[in-house]
Amino acid sequence: MTATSLQRPFTVVSLLPRLLDTNGDAGNARVLAQRIRWGGHDAQVVDVHCRADLPEQVDAVSIGSGTDAAILPARDALRTLVQELRVWSNSKVPVLAVGTGWELLSWGIDRADGTVIEGLGLVAGQAAPRAARATDDIIVASKYGRLIGFENHARDYIGAEASPLGRVLYGTGNGYRASGPLIEGLTMGEVFCTHLHGPVLARNPALADHLLRAAFTRHGLEYARGARAEFVDETAQAARNQVAARLGQPVE
Amino acid sequence: MLARWRKPGGGSAIPGVVVNRIAPGFLAATLNGFPLGLVIVTGSSGKSTATKMLVAVLRAHGLTVFTNQSTANISQGLTSALLERVGLSGRIAGDVAVLEMDEGHGAFIAGSLNPRVVALTNVMVDQIDRFHDSEMVAALLAKIATRATETVVLNADDRYLAELGSALEPTVRVARYGVTPAVLGQYPRGLGYAETTPNRLPTGIGLQLTRVVGRDAAVEFGTDGHSIRLPARGIHYAVDALTALCTAQATLGERFDPTVACASLSAMPAVFGRGEVVTVGGKTIEFVLVQNPSSFQLNVDSLEADTEQILVIIGSDVRDPSYFWPVDTSGLRHVLIASGLKAHDIALQLAYDNVQVDRIEPDVPTALDAFLALPDPASGVKTIIFSADGMRRTRAHLGLVSNAEES
Ligand SMILES: [Zn+2]
């Protein structure tokens, strides 16, 4: 017997969208839900601010980036969800974490004044201050195609060398390395961490669809991109090409 | 930032530099020396409109007002503008000075300017400021507010300003304005402030906005109700009017006449930028300028529901395409053309918000010509939503006079 759909809507959790949505990263949850709908399935986004908001079933998770003022309250709120986060990452629920949201999943955040904010310890590595904020377009070569986005961070990421999301073609990514090419992001199973902020999944639908395939596979279902998504993805490609052309990179 | 067009008769900034060097006390002494003193309007957003409204209300009361056209190059610009008005006697004619200032101008006034009244509009976090936190913006505003010698006028719905007001020395009077629970209820996403206070002003306290529908607003001074025809549709205009009225009352004291004040606001021409209505080649077009996510959201939420012809132009000024993603654009429903250098990026966002986009045309003149060539809509007016760069290109292509106020 093969199922063709879930008996309930696919549920995408947006974690702490009030604290972690500086660049509209929380919109990545909406991107996943829309692509599921465009593929002909029911989907919902559930905003989770505390444990009481947690839905029974979770099919994908999005964590956005916040301001430095939000780091401590966001960390404390995420700590109350650490068990769930462990279960999700161990059971291959796709998780996207952007910027500060990623840093909070790490061992911790070293601050410029020498103090350390302890992270949740879910992924390897830690954030450490940079000399100057990295604010620019970023282009990354990855297994999920060439990713194009925007980065804006005052910290590097150390300790993701074993499993980066990709190699930096333009921009800063995880930042300074004594040797080897610049890398960007971190992956661990179906947990994806990146500095590409804002609508990274809308601009790079290949990565979105990888996450969706992971979500569907858990239920023995096959994900297929809908016709509407194909149309919208042409707009995304045009947006990416515009950046690539401006930065002297080949267009797709 | 837009290029600045020189106003007819506007002086260059050079004499200002010279005077500031040879007579460093000139600016402060002159600004502090007006009979009714100095009034400063500041805050994250709305200060430009509120300042223009305040000036209109004060002039309607028969006052001669000295004011600034822009917050840029404030020291040199003001000195130059003041110099133009120095009479043969060496004195400057005028009853009161009204200045719009940026949050960061605290250092400029500290130690030299003694404003009688300081008006605070709100704390919002915009693109440039979004990596500074709201506390920092509030601290900058507090620095300016503490210079007030008589009254601090503030938006009581803004939590940061409400707290700032409570922390002021008791020697300074605090005049509060705000909206009623019913008005706030019309905007489920709030009014764009970094944080909104949990409670509204109690009935009969301060100046309240009791109603806003389209361009019609109703306000209550204590229990005295008046209506205003706003220069454009939108809750932010109504709140800017509140700022202006409350500040005018603080400035004029007994001389303040709410009937005169509301009539002068109603007589104002449409303010440049947000919500301006223009006629081009016999077609009526409404311009909606979106300068930050808050104003974009408010404009989407207050758009007439049956607006059937919308052109969105997002230009090179929006450097990071993520910028507008926190905005829920679904209320636009149907956009005929997405244009500007960031046409594809805004079209992508609209698509994910279930807004139908018929055409993506990055070239602004081409998009404008196609949009204007369409027959008049059956309902609503042709509406162009643009970023500052989109606005500049639109005005240039349509041959509309640019305005020095926008920067
Ligand atoms: Zn700032």
Q: Check pLDDT > 60 for residue B354.
A: yes
pLDDT, greater one: A188 or B23: A188
Instruction: Kindly list the protein residues that place their beta carbon closer than 5 angstroms to ligand 1, a single-atom ion.
Output: B 129, 132
Q: Which of B195, B320, B328 to mutate to test the interface with A (most CBs of A within 10 A)?
A: B320
**Interval B217-225 mean pLDDT:** 93
* Among B38, B23, B108, B48, CA closest to B74: B108
**What is the least distance, in Å, from the CA of A119 to any CA of chain B?**
21
Q: Give the model's pLDDT for residue B19.
A: 59
pLDDT digits (tens, 9 = 90+) for A194-238: 999 999 999 999 999 999 999 999 999 999 999 999 999 999 999
Q: Which of B348, B353, B356, B363 to mutate to test the interface with A (most CBs of A within 10 A)?
A: B348
Kindly report which listed range (A61-70, A112-121, B180-189, B275-284) carries the lowest average pLDDT score: B275-284
Mean per-residue pLDDT over chain B, rounded: 85
How far apart are the CA of B134 and the centre of ligand 1, in A? 9
Kindly report which listed range (A110-114, A172-176, B35-39, B277-281) carries the lowest average pLDDT score: B277-281
Q: Check pLDDT > 60 for residue B131.
A: no
ipTM score here?
0.95
Q: Give the model's pLDDT for residue B4.
A: 34
Kindly report which listed range (A225-239, B17-31, B50-64) carries the lowest average pLDDT score: B17-31
Q: How confident is the model at residue B215 (pLDDT cuts 50, 70, 90)?
A: confident
Q: Give the model's pLDDT for residue A91.
A: 96
pTM for this predicted structure: 0.73
Of B130, B325, B345, the CB nearest to A239: B345
Q: Which of A235, A241, A242, A252 to mutate to test the interface with B (most CBs of B within 10 A)?
A: A235
pLDDT digits (tens, 9 = 90+) for B301-315: 878 777 899 999 999
**What is the least distance, in Å, from the CA of B98 to any CA of chain A?**
34
Residue whose entry in the numeric block shows the structure tokens 């027959």: B375
Q: Give the model's pLDDT for residue B7.
A: 37
Q: Taking CB atoms and an 8 Å limit, are A23 and B320 in contact across chains?
A: yes
**Interval A114-135 mean pLDDT:** 94
pLDDT digits (tens, 9 = 90+) for B117-130: 999 999 986 544 44
Q: Taking CB atoms and an 8 Å limit, are A150 and B321 in contact across chains?
A: yes
Looking at chain A, the whole-number percentage of residues with pLDDT higher than 70 is: 99
Q: Give the model's pLDDT for residue B24.
A: 62
Looking at chain A, the whole-number percentage of residues with pLDDT higher than 90 is: 88
Q: Check pLDDT > 70 for residue B296.
A: yes
How far apart are the CA of B407 and the centre of ligand 1, in A? 16
Q: How confident is the model at residue B48 (pLDDT cuts 50, 70, 90)?
A: confident
Kindly report which listed range (A49-63, A103-117, B71-85, B126-140) carries the lowest average pLDDT score: B126-140
Q: Give the model's pLDDT for residue B78.
A: 77
**Interval B99-125 mean pLDDT:** 86
Q: Taking CB atoms and an 8 Å limit, are A198 and B321 in contact across chains?
A: yes
Identify the closest residue of chain A to B357 by CA–CA distance.
A232
Residues of B with CB under 8 A from a CB of A: 130-131, 133-135, 320-327, 341, 344-345, 347-349, 351-354, 360
SS (H, E, C) chain A: CCCCCCCCCEEEEEECCCCCCCCCCCHHHHHHHHHHHHCCCCEEEEEECCHHHCCCCCCEEEECCCCHHHHHHHHHHHHCCHHHHHHHHHCCCCEEEECHHHHHHCCEEECCCCCEEECCCCCCCEEEEEEEEEEEEEEEEECCEEEEEEEEEEEEEECCCCCCCEEEEECCCCCCCCCCCCEECEEECCEEEECCCCCHHHHCHHHHHHHHHHHHHCCCCCCCCCHHHHHHHHHHHHHHHHHHHHCCCCCC
Identify the closest residue of chain B to A202 by CA–CA distance.
B348
Q: Give the model's pLDDT for residue B25.
A: 75
How far apart are the CA of B132 and the centre of ligand 1, in A? 6
